């Protein structure tokens, strides 16, 4: 039934492969626990007590509340699927409550640091150097996700309209505008790539040194390498996405427009960036207002 559920997520829910793998990992962990603890090898036979015991075990093992809550969401989705299939008559997760979590503000690079990183960093005059610069510029210049960058094709870029068409979560397409300064950076990279790399016929923009599709670790390493020069604790591609959204709002962008640019399905996901903007407004008030 786990395999059927995973196929349902991939084919009908159209979730990304990365998300499906996360669901699979959670369910296999639950299966191992019920097998070892209760001698129940089929997760579909689990009851409320087994689910609760697993969650208590996760907490005892010092798993973060957010991680535990994600596993709760996995089980809820799985048992809901089994109910619809008629494989079970009762959902054992109905009375399960999520753990309380602290709200974490998105980590972002300050605007001055971001400008220094992109404008003053000397990138190697090699294919890797052109690729690294493009990766940083695309993340910060479009706010796209790592998974979206990995799937980005040459044909998805319109230099005439200065737009990029990306395939987001649940295979939803969206069009992102980009600045004129990004045009020569993309073209320089493409020219260098096409002259020096034997690119396979996959049409993807970002490739490895031997022309194969880029992979997550390659992108993450490139971003971490350059973010080490900034003051942010986190050094991930998502930090650049956070920086993109935060700087837009700081400059007065309308929150609904930022929501659409980021590809968020609800405004609640975008509103987290307003906390950073509010902190900046508070500092401005405290510095400038006579009664502050």
275 among known catalytic residues: no
Burial of 249 (0-12, 13-18, 19+ CB in 10 A): buried
Q: Would you tell me the crossing angle of helices 111-120 and 127-142 to the nearest 10 degrees?
A: 150
Residue 242 catalytic?
A: no
Could you tell me the two tokens for 131?
Answer: 């690729």
Among 13, 24, 165, 238, the one annotated catalytic: 238
Among candidate residues 71, 133, 145, 247, the one labeled active-site is: 145
Give me the catalytic one of 71, 199, 241, 247. 241
**Residue 80 catalytic?**
no
Radius of gyration of the chain (CA): 23
Q: Which residue has the tokens 């962990």?
A: 29
Percent of the chain that is helix, strand, coil (3-state, to 5): 60, 5, 35
Annotation says 241 is catalytic: yes
Instruction: Give dist(CA 204, CA 131) in Å, integer.
Output: 13
Instruction: Please work out, in degrees rounded to the nearest 5, the angle formed at the alpha carbon of residue 73 by the alpha carbons of 69 and 79.
Output: 140
Answer yes or no: 174 catalytic. Answer: no
Task: Pick the catalytic residue from 169, 174, 212, 224.
Answer: 169
E strands present in the chain? 157-158, 163-167, 173-177
Q: Strands of 173-177's sheet, edge to edge? A: 157-158, 163-167, 173-177
Catalytic residues: 145, 169, 238, 241, 264, 273
């Amino acid at each position: 039934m786990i395999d059927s559920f995973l196929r349902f997520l991939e084919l009908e829910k159209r979730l990304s492969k990365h998300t499906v793998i996360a669901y699979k990992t959670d369910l296999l962990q639950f299966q191992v626990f019920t097998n070892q603890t209760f001698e129940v090898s089929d997760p579909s036979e689990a009851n409320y007590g087994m689910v609760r015991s697993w969650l208590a075990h996760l907490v005892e093992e010092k798993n973060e509340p957010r991680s535990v809550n994600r596993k709760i969401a996995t089980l809820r989705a799985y048992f809901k699927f089994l109910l619809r299939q008629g494989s079970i008559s009762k959902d054992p997760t109905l009375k399960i409550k999520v753990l309380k979590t602290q709200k974490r503000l998105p980590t972002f690079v300050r605007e001055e640091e971001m400008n220094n990183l992109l404008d003053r960093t000397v990138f190697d005059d090699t294919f890797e150097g052109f690729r690294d610069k493009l990766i940083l510029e695309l993340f910060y210049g479009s706010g796209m996700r790592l998974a979206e960058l990995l799937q980005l094709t040459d044909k998805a870029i319109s230099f005439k309209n200065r737009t990029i068409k990306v395939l987001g979560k649940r295979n939803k397409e969206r069009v992102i505008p980009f600045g004129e300064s990004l045009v020569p950076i993309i073209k320089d990279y493409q020219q260098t790539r096409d002259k020096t790399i034997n690119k396979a016929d996959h049409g993807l923009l970002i490739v490895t040194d031997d022309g194969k599709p880029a992979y997550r670790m390659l992108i993450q390493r490139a971003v971490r390498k350059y973010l080490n020069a900034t003051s942010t604790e986190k050094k991930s591609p998502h930090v650049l996405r956070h920086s993109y959204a935060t700087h837009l709002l700081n400059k007065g962008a309308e929150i609904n427009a930022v929501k659409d640019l980021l590809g968020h399905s609800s405004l609640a996901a975008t509103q987290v960036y307003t906390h950073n903007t509010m902190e900046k407004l508070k500092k401005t008030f405290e510095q400038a207002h006579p009664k502050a």
